Structure 1
Amino acid sequence: MKISVVIPSYNRGEMIAVTLDAILGQSRKPDEVIVVDDGSTDNTVEFVGEKYGDAVRLIRQENGGPESARKHGIEAATGDWIALCDSDDIWLPDHVERLCMMHARYPDADCLSANFTEVGSSARHQDKFLSMGEAFWAQADKDADGLMYLGPDQFKRLLSGNPFFTSATMFSKALYDRAGGINPAYARLPAGDADLTRRMALVGTMACDWHISVQINKHGENFSADGFRNGMGKIVMLKDYLGQPDMFGRYEGDIREAVDRAAIALMYGAFAARNMVDFDTAAAELPFGKRPFGLKVRSLFAALPDGLVKMIFSLYDRTQQTKETH
């Protein structure tokens, strides 16, 4: 088992050292560490070359987005297993060791994911797997070491959510090829990295580790705007799947339901944020007749002239302020 680590990076400079030091300091050392510089305009290339020398294989490319850089790194890797990490995330010292333990426990599993915690100013989840809720983990049980065998064809499970992030996932190169690799069309699409995970879940066999061994850095995101972009990115990918019946045909109904659920969630979120532009964008993905009653009412309200919508919101705010002062 030869493990290659692939890290896409853009303008990280000396900050990438925290990530690389954690990777190189693993209790089970990876066999190859690759940084793919995605057209940085700062000193990232010089810093990595000078500080790490032969310990890190440095690949340079013109700026093409993180998915393009991952694709380049994976295809250049010499390992038969690929572990991914973003350039601002941190592996705890036992991350690779536990992935190898999971591989030994479930040798037929070719896509392995670890649990993670979020850190930084915009962190929300201390335990990502736990935050998914019991329903997501139905028909799967942890063993005494916190390892969980999910089995083959987990695509439908991932339609309801995806706790398997790139920085916490390792997969066989053979599975990557079988799943069709990274789609370059999603190189800059929000949430585009989830496409590879879904494809591997469809054609591979999955296992996961509830032990937290990764820190995902969340800093400075606007959760309202970022969440909307990611949600629309998910819809774009799911609709693309509907045009690939050879691979996804047996899940057509599930995919259509997932598109509807995503559009409904985005519409409610946009309305709560009073962003009628985003509301209309999401509404275009969901016919009026398929909307819950509450969304139908909101849709009629959103169709009013902009000035009237703003006036009604303003009156509502003043009413709420009056209530709070009495």
Structure 2
Amino acid sequence: MSIIRFSVVIPLYNKVDSVFRTLASICEQRFAAAEIIVIDDGSTDGSADKVATLNIPNLTLVKQKNKGVSAARNLGVTLAQHRHIAFIDADDQWTPFYLYEMSKLIQRFPKHQCFASNYQKVIEDGVYRNPKLAIGDISPIGCVMDNYFEVCAKGDLPFMPSSLVISRQLFKQIGGFPVGEAMGEDQALFSQIALQGSLIYSPLVLMLYHTDSENRACDRHIPQDILPFAKRLLAEVAAGQVNRLTAPFVLQYCAAHICHLAKMNIQAGQLTAAKQLLKHPVSKLKPLHRNLFGMWLITQYLFQQLQTWRE
């Protein structure tokens, strides 16, 4: 087998308080990255200047006008010199053995082109939370995950962009991340990977996913409609383009997505949007969640009416 070299791609936009932590976690890897490519997507808070002052020898900093995270990641892959691309967002962290474990997965499963690992959420400083994963017992040396949609339909995502390694060949074959989609671009890529073949998964917690960092897209805007990746999946199922054995789980996955959006909108007081989401026929494939959020929605409507009467 040829020598494994990783090109690390980091999209950067206004993460001046987090990017040093991310880069430090890369520099501390027991299996060194061959190159680090930071694509500054038009930051206005001095993030790029901070990266430039670190003088990391194998780091390349490229600046572009603000085009979004997908365009930044895609450009990074275009510039990468090596076969295996390891993504990490500018507010996440790898544990010291992340790239080492990824290299071992590549050696154990040389015919595959996508590799991912488990992660842990950082809610705030010193507060960690495990994702709710419906994957059962998996060997610590990794295994083939060929039921991605089933896993996601029953729990949290089993991995994140920052715990994903993909070959340049497969990335280009899929078409990269969809440009112009502010949210769900990661699930768009994951879904296409799952539809085109299986991936190799490690249950080891090798990445820290920070939900406590600054300038997170999901904190700025709550979608009131199904995201584009789910619309495309539903269209592909309807057109008969998805394997008949996989299609039911794809629909359940989309149903889980719809119910999750409805929950977020109820929490934000956007009740009309939540109501429309729960009306989607696919949401019926997650009956427990749909009924629970439906009851919650009714109580919120009643609470609003009570507040109006009191005024």
TM-score, normalised by the number of residues in structure 2: 0.79
CA RMSD between the two structures? 3.7
Indicate yes or no: 2:200 matched with 1:207.
yes
Asked if 1:70 corresponds to 2:68, the answer is no
Q: Secondary structure of 1:113's match?
A: strand
In the alignment, the residues of structure 2 paired with residue 228 and residue 123 of structure 1 have an alpha-carbon distance, to the nearest angstrom, of 26
Structure 2 vs 1, CA of residues 278 and 313 (structure 1 numbering), >3 Å: closer, same or farther?
A: farther
Residue 30 of structure 1, CA deviation: 0.8
- Give the one of 276, 288, 294 matched to 2:271: 276
Structure 2 vs 1, CA of residues 124 and 280 (structure 1 numbering), >3 Å: closer, same or farther? farther
Find the counterpart in structure 1 of residue 179 from structure 2. Answer: 184
Q: Structure 1's 19 and 97: CA in aligned 2 closer, same or farther, altered over 3 A?
A: same
Conserved 8 A contact 1:34-1:59? yes
* Conserved 8 A contact 2:256-2:283: no
Distance 1:192 1:99, change over 3 A: same
Cα distance between partner residues in 2 of 1:171 and 1:288: 32
Indicate which of 204, 211, 214 corresponds to 1:218.
211
Q: Aligned partners of 2:106, 2:211: CA distance in 1, in Å?
A: 29
Residues 31-68 of structure 1 show CA distances to partners (whole Å, capped at 9, x for unaligned) of 11000000011322222223225421111111112122
The Cα offsets for residues 130-186 of structure 1, whole Å up to 9 and x where unpaired, read as x21xxx225xx533xx13312457445444442210111111112212222211142
Match of 1:240 in 2: 232
Residues 175, 204 of structure 1: 8 Å contact kept:
no
- Hey, what does 1:142 align to over in structure 2? 138
Q: 3-state DSSP class of the match of 1:35?
A: strand
Q: Deviations over 1:211-257 (max 9, x none)?
A: 22211111179x9x859936955x53222223344753645444344
Q: Distance in 2 between matches of 1:81 and 1:170?
A: 6
Q: Which amino acid aligns with 1:181?
A: G
Match of 2:59 in 1: 56
What SS does the corresponding residue of 1:63 show, helix, strand or coil?
coil
Query: Could you tell me how far apart the structure 1 residues matched to 2:196 and 2:284 are?
Result: 35
Cα separation, 2, equivalents of 1:44 and 1:288: 41
Flag the 1:178–1:158 CA change in 2: closer, same or farther, 3 A: farther
How far, CA to CA, are the matches of 1:14 and 1:298 in structure 2? 37
Please say which of residues 292-301 and 252-261 is displaced more in the overlay.
292-301
| Cα distance in 2 between the residues matched to 1:24 and 1:100 | 16
Tell me, in whole angstroms, the C-alpha distance in 1 between the residues paired with 2:291 and 2:151: 27
Q: Does the C-alpha gap of structure 1 residues 212 and 157 become closer, same or farther in structure 2, counting only changes over 3 Å?
A: closer
1:1-326 correspondence to structure 2 within 5 Å: 1-13=4-16, 15-52=18-55, 54-121=57-124, 126-128=129-131, 131-132=132-133, 136-137=134-135, 141-143=137-139, 146-152=140-146, 154-160=148-154, 161-186=156-181, 188=182, 190-219=183-212, 229=222, 232-233=225-226, 235-244=227-236, 245=239, 247-248=241-242, 250=244, 251-267=246-262, 270-271=265-266, 275-286=270-281, 310-312=304-306
Task: Tell me if the contact between 2:34 and 2:58 (Cα under 8 Å) persists in the aligned partners.
Answer: no
Structure 1 Cα separation of the partners of residues 16 and 220 of structure 2: 27
Matched positions, count: 299
Identity %: 21
Q: Which has the larger radius of gyration?
A: 1
After superposition, the Cα gap between the structure-2 partners of 1:275 and 1:122, relative to the gap in structure 1 and judged at 3 Å, is farther
- Return the alpha-carbon distance in structure 1 between the equivalents of residues 15 and 304 of structure 2: 42
| SS of residue paired to 2:53 | helix
CA 121–249 in structure 1, closer or farther in 2 if over 3 Å, else same: same
TM-score by length of 1: 0.76
For structure 1, the residue ranges without an aligned partner over 5 or more in a row are: 316-326
How many angstroms apart in 2 are the aligned matches of 1:216 and 1:45?
21
**Offset from partner CA, 1:102-148 (integer Å, 9 cap, x none):** 211222232111221222429975333xx21xxx225xx533xx133
1:205: Cα distance to partner? 2.8
In 2, distance between residues paired with 1:99 and 1:173? 15
Taking structure 1 as reference, are residues 142 and 279 closer, same or farther at Cα in structure 2, changes over 3 Å only?
closer
